[in-house]
Amino acid sequence: MFVLYGATGDLARRMVLPAFFELAQHGLLPEDWRLIGSGRGERTDEEFVEHVRSALAEFGPDPDEGPWDDFAQRLRFAGGGFTADDPGQLLDAVATARKEIGDDAQLVHYLSLPPKAFTDYTRALGAHGLGEGARVVYEKPFGASPEGFRELDDLVHSVFDEEQVFRIDHFLGKEGTQDLHALRFANGLFEPMWSREHVAQVQIDVPEDLDVADRADFYDATGATLDMLVTHLFQVAAEVAMEPPVSFSADDILSARESVLANFRPLAPEDVVLGQFEGYRELDGVPDDSDTDTYVAARLFIDTGRWRGVPFLLRTGKRMAAKQQRVSLVLHRPKGPVNDVPANGNVVSLSLAGAGAVDIDVMAKKPGPDLAMAPARVSLDLSKIPGGEPLAPYVSLIHDVLIGDRSLFTTSEGLAQTWRALQPVLDARPEVHPYAPGSWGPAAANALTGEHGWLLGQTE
């Protein structure tokens, strides 16, 4: 049984409800289930069904291309809001659903709410005894500052055990991100090279070409560092840097990824470049003197034996020249007789977008009479793997919640470590450089990468 708080809000409409229907299309929902939408307004079940149908019509998948009738008859709505003092219609709706599908149905609370509402709803879940045995899903950001994180974390742990909590970072649900551990640990080609002995630097580069016009208010209070760096980019860095998990079980993968966050060296402010695209302050909802970063580049070090001294270059920004999501391991030049291998001649790169892709840059003999070397690329589009049915990140993550698999979620301890690593930048915020829309961001970030430069932007 799934209770969706904020069921008529924007996030539910764009992401959660479509993901749920996609699970139905793939046959990945339990045999019997109910989804109770919770919201402040009053709606009948029928009106909620109509709402869901219109969300699907707008954001897909097409309701007519799936088991819509069966899906629709399992949707319920509980209006009147939900607070610690007043549960509205929710407790009745949960009791009725339990009668319909049985007391042993797993209860899942999905807080599809603005982060500032997490506290009140968590309290309300505790006050009405809905925490026991349940799973609970929190959207990002789980706390927007070190203090905010700690307060929320303490409150959540007063109602739920850590094992009940599923904090979403949808980058971890991407097919390409999951391939970082799949590819690495399943291939003799990759596992032995995954260390400082072979890797000169790692680049995690997520340029975006869109601006933030449709959510300028939210964005201006957040900025790229909080929206993307301390969340998605740090988690992906941990995914790259983790030690081999004991096994491929959910718990072992989770603990391998989250425990390496403790080895993130606190970022030195001089290793961070912030930017703001020109024209940002003219957007509706953005103050004329806003100092918000729409771009961040950072050089992170991870102090494990495996990665000591290897810079992890992290970059993201709005209104940049391209939209890409790339993790690249740049290899050292081989020692030996070939002395003209360029700095970026050997690169293993994964795209995290869509179903994911692997590209390997190698040096090869240029066909012809001479022994001359030329760069070449081997590419594997992971969507072409026979029988594969790529899942969108939200679909994959909600499925994991339903089966109780926490491997792709963040942990309380891990998040505490991400804030620890960011703290120096919060204490001494670097200056914000302007950059031209459609560019690769402030030139000041080029110095972070040494002789390698940023891989994206050189070849695009």
Residues that bind ligand BG6 (CB under 6 A): 140, 170, 208, 227
174 annotated to bind ligand: yes
Residue with tokens 């201006």: 220
Q: How far is 82 from 110, CA to CA, in rounded Å?
A: 13
Shortest separation between residue 397's beta carbon and ligand BG6, angstroms: 12
12 annotated to bind ligand: yes
Shortest separation between residue 140's beta carbon and ligand BG6, angstroms: 6
Is the CB of 63 or the CB of 173 nearer to ligand BG6? 173
Is the CB of 167 or the CB of 170 nearer to ligand BG6? 170
Is the CB of 140 or the CB of 420 nearer to ligand BG6? 140
DSSP strand pairing (312-317 vs 357-365): unpaired
Region for residue 367 given its phi and psi (left: phi exceeds 0; alpha: psi -120 to 50; beta: otherwise):
beta
Q: How far is 256 from 263, CA to CA, in rounded Å?
A: 12
CB 275 within 8 A of CB 303: no
Question: In Å, how far are 94, 157, 300 from 160, measured between CA atoms?
Answer: 19, 5, 33
Shortest separation between residue 50's beta carbon and ligand BG6, angstroms: 27
13 annotated to bind ligand: yes
9 annotated to bind ligand: yes
Region for residue 209 given its phi and psi (left: phi exceeds 0; alpha: psi -120 to 50; beta: otherwise):
alpha
Is the CB of 212 or the CB of 253 nearer to ligand BG6? 212
366 annotated to bind ligand: no
Strands of the sheet containing 35-38, edge to edge, are 75-78, 35-38, 2-5, 108-111, 135-138, 165-167
- Among candidate residues 232, 332, 399, 452, the one labeled active-site is 232
Q: How far is 457 from 56, CA to CA, in rounded Å?
A: 36
Shortest separation between residue 260's beta carbon and ligand BG6, angstroms: 22
116 annotated to bind ligand: no
DSSP string, 124-169: HHHHTT--TT-EEEEPSPS-SSHHHHHHHHHHHHHHS-GGGEEE--
Assess whether 109 carries a catalytic annotation: no
97 annotated to bind ligand: no
Pair of tokens at residue 48? 């909620």
Q: How far is 148 from 136, CA to CA, in rounded Å?
A: 19
- Measured from each CB, the residue nearest to ligand BG6 is 227
Is the CB of 124 or the CB of 168 nearer to ligand BG6? 168
Shortest separation between residue 20's beta carbon and ligand BG6, angstroms: 18
Active-site positions?
232
Binding site membership for NADP(+): which residues? 6-13, 40, 140
Bind-site residues for substrate: 170, 174, 208, 227, 318, 323
